[in-house]
Amino acid sequence: MILALLARRLTTAKVCLSISLVFGVLGALSTCGLLFEMQGVLDYKWNIALNMAVTVCSVWFTVAWLDLLATQGVKGAACCFIVATALGGLCGSALQAMPFFPSFFVLVLMPIMTALGLRMTKDVSLSRFSRAKHPHLRSLFADTPFSLLLVVGLVCFSQGVLFNIDITSAVLQSGSWVIEPIFDSLVMIAAVLLAFFSVRSNVRLAFYTAIPCVLIASLLLAIGVDEPRWILVSLVRLGAETIRFLVIFLLVKTMLEKRIPALPLFALLTCCQFLGTMLGQLVSIVFTNNHMMIALFLLSDLVIAALVILFAHTALGAMGQTRQTGGASEASLQSLSKQSALTPRECEVLGYWISGHNSSFIEERLNISKHTVKTHINHIYEKTNTRNKEELIRLYEQFQQKARRF
């Protein structure tokens, strides 16, 4: 979180990519060290430090990747998640089946390949929200849907509570390590699809379905229900991942509609996941043999999560019902841009321009030159057949009225 905020406030997007390259090298060295430690070459005392280094690197790449996906919109992000998850499952299965030394070199090269991939896609990976200079952190936090982040933390808490309980799936218990990554990938893809269609229809109902699914299945596992264990484990994973992707997609919509930077928001999301899991594991350690207390914590978790969603009017109302609320302006902006064949950057400039901001604000917010801003505005006037800002606003209001009627 600290790294994300520093990268957001003190450095440029190009420097962020350089930081990713440093993390790639660090991740490769740490992975190499862990593999050596597993083979007995390094002393076990290095285990904690190496695991922490690998975790920090993986979290940085996850947040950077989410920052990249934020520019693609909800539909584009969902497609990327599905493709990446499928490829990840196949790669995981291949690594399980490979001999040690080939898999060793692949695992060591993966962090560096990830960093190089981010640099190769720098034209699109420099998120327009990360490039924009946010005036104050106070403004950023004012637009952050903390209720959704709290729900993610509560769900991760329920998973952390099961820390001392064997929740290994039936696939792993059968010894089929090669099949396990594919099985996990299928669960993840199902979660992405459920979250995507829920965002397009009824967000609140999706939360009220997924939260009980996670916590009731966790409760049954906590009190020792053994059959059908693999179904309960799958339900916990499916519900938790569905909630996580729901929050990710809603955050993407928030960034698109309110034009706020992506990197700090996803860093906050990751912090909530880790804090929830850590607190859950602490409860699990303290009450190892007290199933009644663990069940009580899980039930309390369910009630709190349900209440948070019940009163999350701002987060879910503004994002899940865009046709009736403030999202109508975003819908009409997209409709005007589509009809006028505006480019994504011109659409972004149009949003600021008709909101009353001047060219200097747009120049600073989008980190582009004054000449570029003027060129975009002239192209917008030309494509929309308007001569000045007043005519452009009147045209936009016509589209806004149409959006409200529908």
Does residue 341 register a pLDDT over 60?
A: yes
Tens of pLDDT, residue by residue over 177-188, are 556 677 788 888
Q: Where in the chain is the domain with CATH 1.20.1250.20?
A: 139-320
Fold held by 327-405: Arc Repressor Mutant, subunit A (1.10.10)
Comparing C-alpha atoms, which of 86, 30, 90, 80 is closest to residue 54?
30
CA gap 270, 257 in Å, rounded: 22
For residue 169, give both structure tokens: 């799936």
Instruction: Give the confidence band of 259 by pLDDT, cuts at 50, 70, 90.
Output: low
Does residue 236 register a pLDDT over 80?
A: yes
* Residue 172: predicted pLDDT: 45
* Residue 326: predicted pLDDT: 34
* Residue 104: predicted pLDDT: 81
* Residue 255: predicted pLDDT: 73
* Residue 57: predicted pLDDT: 86
Tens of pLDDT, residue by residue over 84-128, are 888 888 888 888 788 877 888 888 888 888 888 777 665 444 444
Instruction: Give the confidence band of 227 by pLDDT, cuts at 50, 70, 90.
Output: low
Does residue 61 register a pLDDT over 80?
A: yes
Q: If you search the block for the tokens 């059908």, which residue do you land on?
A: 228
* Residue 380: predicted pLDDT: 92
Tens of pLDDT, residue by residue over 293-321, are 888 888 888 888 888 887 765 445 444 44
For residue 111, give both structure tokens: 């962090």
298 contacts: CB under 8 Å, gap ≥ 6: 158, 161, 215, 218, 219, 222
Tens of pLDDT, residue by residue over 357-403, are 778 778 767 778 888 889 999 999 999 999 888 888 888 888 777 65
Q: What is the 3-state secondary structure (H, E, C) of the chain?
A: CHHHHHHHHHCCHHHHHHHHHHHHHHHHHHHHHHHHHHCCCCCHHHHHHHHHHHHHHHHHHHHHHHHHHHHHHHHHHHHHHHHHHHHHHHHHHHHHHCCHHHHHHHHHHHHHHHHHHHHHCHHHHCCHHHHCCCCCHHHHHHCCCHHHHHHHHHHHHHHHHHHHCCCCCHHHHCCCCCCHHHHHHHHHHHHHHHHHHHHCCCHHHHHHHHHHHHHHHHHHHHCCCCCCHHHHHHHHHHHHHHHHHHHHHHHHHHHHHHCCCHHHHHHHHHHHHHHHHHHHHHHHHHCCCCHHHHHHHHHHHHHHHHHHHHCCHHHHHHHHCCCCCCHHHHHHHHHHHHHCCCCHHHHHHHHHHHCCCCHHHHHHHHCCCHHHHHHHHHHHHHHHCCCCHHHHHHHHHHHHHHHHHC
Does residue 353 register a pLDDT over 70?
A: yes
* Residue 375: predicted pLDDT: 92
The angle, 0 to 180 degrees and rounded to 10, between the axes of the packed helices 100-120 and 47-69 is: 40
* Residue 316: predicted pLDDT: 54
Give the CATH H-level superfamily of domain 139-320.
Answer: MFS general substrate transporter like domains (1.20.1250.20)
Phi and psi for 287 in degrees, rounded to 5? Answer: -110, 50
Tens of pLDDT, residue by residue over 162-176, are 766 654 444 444 445
* Residue 129: predicted pLDDT: 40
Tens of pLDDT, residue by residue over 16-38, are 667 778 888 888 888 888 878 77
Q: Where in the chain is the domain with CATH 1.10.10.10?
A: 327-405
Does residue 325 register a pLDDT over 80?
A: no
* Residue 193: predicted pLDDT: 92
